Amino acid sequence: MSASESSPLDIHRGLRAAAIATGGAVLAALMMCAVMHLTMWICTGDPMPENAGYCLAHVLATLVPAAAAAAFATSAPDGKHPFLPTFATVFVIGLFGVVFLAMLSPIPLSPQYTKGIDHPPIYPSEIVLLALPPLTIGAWITLDRRFRFGFRARD
């Protein structure tokens, strides 16, 4: 293959796009949590609600994998693929996957949050539960765009 020809799947370009999308998702999550806490502060008068860390951790664990997977699926395969429809597909199907995994699990995927116990903002099992479906959908879209299976996100 000559230097002028491009690979059908450019891993480095996909990883760069995923890193940029991860940064954007982190900024979006910070802004969403800041707006939520500002609204709660205005409505309740409490400047720092108890669930501030939980909010940020769960929003990050939801947005970051979806944004990174969509950016990789958009940039890694050859051709022009739009980011927003890919992100919407990964995010929506990923959320359905999270609900599906939570419903099928015979045991709880994370301990119950009870008062009096100091819980971390998010458990590793919750990170896996929130990240696995979007990453799987992103990988599927990437492979579909590379090998043309026929089940493509809208291009």
153 belongs to a structural domain? no
55 pLDDT exceeds 80? no
The predicted-structure confidence for 56-74, as pLDDT tens digits, reads as follows: 888 888 899 999 999 999 9
Given CA atoms 103, 106, 111, 115 in this order, what sign does their dihedral have? positive
CB crowding 116-125: b at 16 or more within 10 Å, else e: eeeeeebeee
Write the pLDDT tens digit of every residue in 84-95. 999 999 999 988
Residue 1 lies in a domain: no
Provide the pLDDT confidence category of residue 152 given band limits of 50, 70 and 90. low
Please tell me the pTM assigned to this model: 0.77
Q: Is the pLDDT of residue 7 over 70?
A: no
pLDDT tier, 25 (very low <50, low <70, confident <90, very high otherwise): very high
Residue 5 lies in a domain: no
DSSP 50: T
- Cα 121 from Cα 110, distance rounded (Å): 12
Separation CA 126–CA 109 (nearest Å) = 7
Task: Tell whether 84 is covered by a domain.
Answer: yes
Domain count within the chain: 1
Q: Is residue 120 part of a domain?
A: yes
Confirm whether 155 is domain-assigned.
no
Whole-number pLDDT of residue 116: 74
Within a domain: residue 4? no
In this model, does residue 1 exceed pLDDT 70? no
Mind listing the pLDDT tens digit for each residue in 112-142?
767 777 777 788 888 888 888 899 999 998 8
Spatial contact of 96 and 134, defined as CB atoms under 8 Å apart: no
Helices marked H in the chain: 11-44, 52-75, 83-104, 124-147
130 within some domain: yes
The whole domain housing 73 covers 11-147
